[in-house]
Amino acid sequence: MTDYFEVHARDGVARAGELRLDPPLATPAAVDDRVIDAGSLWPAERDAPEGDAGALTVLPHRALPAGTPAEVAAAFAVDPADVDFPSAAVVSAETAADRGADAYVLSEAQGVVGHAEAFLDAVVAVREATPPDTALYLAGVATPRNVATLVYAGVDLVDTTRARVEGTRGRYLTTDAALFLEDLDELPCPCPACAVDRDEFDRAACADHNERVLRGELGRVRRRVADGRLRDYVEGQARHANWCTAVLRRLDDRYSFAEPRTPVVDDASMQAATEDGLRRVEIQRFADRVTTRYRNRFGDRPLVLVPCSATKPYSESPSHAQFHEAIGYRGHLVSMTSPIGVVPQELELTYPAQHYDTVVTGRWSANEREFVVEVLRRYLRRTDYPRVVAHVPDEGYRDVVADATAGLDLPVEYTVADHPTTDESLANLRAALAGESTYRKREREHNTVRAIADYMLGPAAGDDLFESFRTTSRHPKLQVRAPPDHEDGGGDEGGAQWAAMVPNYGVLAFTLAGARRWVESDAPTKRVDIDGFVPHGSVLAPGVVDATDAIRPGDEVVVEGPRAFAVGRAEMSGPEMRASTRGVAVDVRHVEEL
């Protein structure tokens, strides 16, 4: 049970939250003057500390050797569950467990910061062993250069101790370096501490400067997390310390830790400017779902591979408008792109396909190339096309297509003469599709709805949920309705609405009728069971009785309880809903009182 910490926003593994002290403190934050360390009193005084509503009290603890059993370690400490003020418990990676505290202090922080694997071992161990609605505090380690990476890996609280100590030792810290003060002829910083003559700038001023720069960096990081843009920043910032870059990369390898915590949709654009972007959770998840969940529903028509466009969604670009016109509903358009891999036309709005922005140079690195080859090959193995029309510009793209189709019994025809949008190339594309039957716009709309359902819920979900339906309104705001002959039907109007496409994310938002249909279908349901109340606006975590493991932040979910049936969007993962006692679990869109 935690009373004094609440997560408000999630960005990958990082969180923006609130330490509910008096006055409250937005996290991630430096907590120097908001922490009382009762540990120093131990063992001289055994009385429990009095606590303070304005600060986190770190409960009495001892530096215990690694390997101390958790129950022994716990026996030495005041039980956080017995105190009614904001408290923090000191734990190690080995002794971490739910002690009922609001925050956990990592005892070995100073030993692991600077070593990527050891640091991640410790942070991941504590985050997995303690409740999700508690804060993780690493004391005495933050610098302006490393704090973005600390937060990116899941640290909520730090302090300015190390930055100040380094200043008193003559080290001038910036977000990119630790400089010897004595070597500096001028101070490369506009902060008030530095606004003095160089010969008046002493080590005390240096400590003040270091603290200011650290607090400034924390402010930037807080905003980035709230905006869902921390990853883009850390891909650049981590470059200034190799161990931080190693943390970034090794955390990507811990997919089973990072993926469930990472939102499935986001408003933020994604700046894919480094190769590390290929390995981020959102990119890997999209490639995984397209190659394990997506199903091609365009029959025996050929696959038409085209290059992506800088404009998103692709179909709003002049080049893709020309491709669509030339294809004329006779082939299935799929875009090839780094860093996404392949994007079937039905999923061009789906996060992050319309949200990324990449550096356009016309060249792919070896890693980008390998990634696109691998995703395209996996895609082709799962789908079933009679042939491929590769309308791609140059040798680079053609080599990728050739490598991806090698060994597959799949004829490939190249249609670009010089550039994909020249009259000659487009004429070639038309000619390559000349004998194909056309499909109707309605069929494409239906396939889009089903493809999005597959992507969101799992293979075959689109067919399970939407075997027969009607669409109204226009793409990208399609409305999914019961067909006239269905029990939900209503004649020519097409009957009850089941879902609507959300243009910003390329996902489906269900109505109550749609949610009922979802629950009764064979498609995997994402369900949140609640107590006997009727949620208005949101379901808070304490009201959650159970939740499906597969729920991710941003997922569409059904909410069911003795008094209510509702549908909405998850704000936290299923495991986090079950383990949390604070915070919004579900934003409810529609609710029906039972």
- Residues contributing to the site for Zn ion (CB under 5 A): 189, 191, 193-194, 209
Smallest gap from Cβ 187 to Zn ion, in A, equals 6
Instruction: Pick between residue 30 and residue 326 the one whose CB is nearest to Zn ion.
Output: 30
Residue 384 in contact with residue 295, Cβ under 8 Å?
Answer: no
- Residue 175 or 274 having the CB closest to Zn ion: 175
Closest distance of CB 167 from Zn ion, Å: 10
The type of residue at 259 is E
Q: Could you give the 3-state DSSP secondary structure of residue 8?
A: strand
> In whole angstroms, how close is the CB of 213 to Zn ion at the nearest point?
6
Q: CB of residue 217 vs Zn ion: minimum separation in angstroms? A: 12
φ, ψ (nearest 5 deg) of residue 453? -65, -45
Provide φ and ψ at 479, rounded to 5°.
-110, 135
Nearer to Zn ion, 70 or 189 (CB): 189
What is the Cα Rg of the chain in Å? 27
Of 99 and 209, the one with the shorter C-beta distance to Zn ion is 209
**Helix 161-168 and helix 203-227, axial crossing angle in degrees, nearest 10:** 150
**Among residues 137 and 201, whose Cβ is nearest to Zn ion?**
201
Please list, in sequence order, all residues whose beta carbon lies within 8 angstroms of the beta carbon of residue 500, skipping any fewer than 6 positions away.
473, 477, 478, 479, 480, 508, 509, 511
Question: Given its phi and psi angles, is residue 443 left (phi above 0), alpha (psi -120 to 50 degrees) or beta?
Answer: alpha
Say if CB 206 and CB 164 are below 8 A apart.
no
Tell me how far, at minimum, the Cβ of 212 lies from Zn ion, in Å.
6
**Maximum Cα interatomic distance, the chain, rounded to a whole number of Å:** 90
State in angstroms the smallest separation of the CB of 165 from Zn ion: 17
Between 143 and 354, CB nearer to Zn ion: 143
Assigned token pair, 98 = 């739910």
Beta strand pairing call for 178-180 and 171-173: antiparallel
**Cα(46)–Cα(479) distance, integer angstroms:** 66
Which two structure tokens, joined as six digits, stand for 242? 């190799």
Minimum distance of Zn ion from residue 204's CB (angstroms)? 13
CA distance 388 to 303: 5
Minimum separation from the CB atom of position 173 to Zn ion (A):
9
**Which is nearer to Zn ion, 162 or 297 (by Cβ)?**
162
Residue (191 or 509) nearer to Zn ion, CB: 191
501 pairs with which residues across the strands? 508
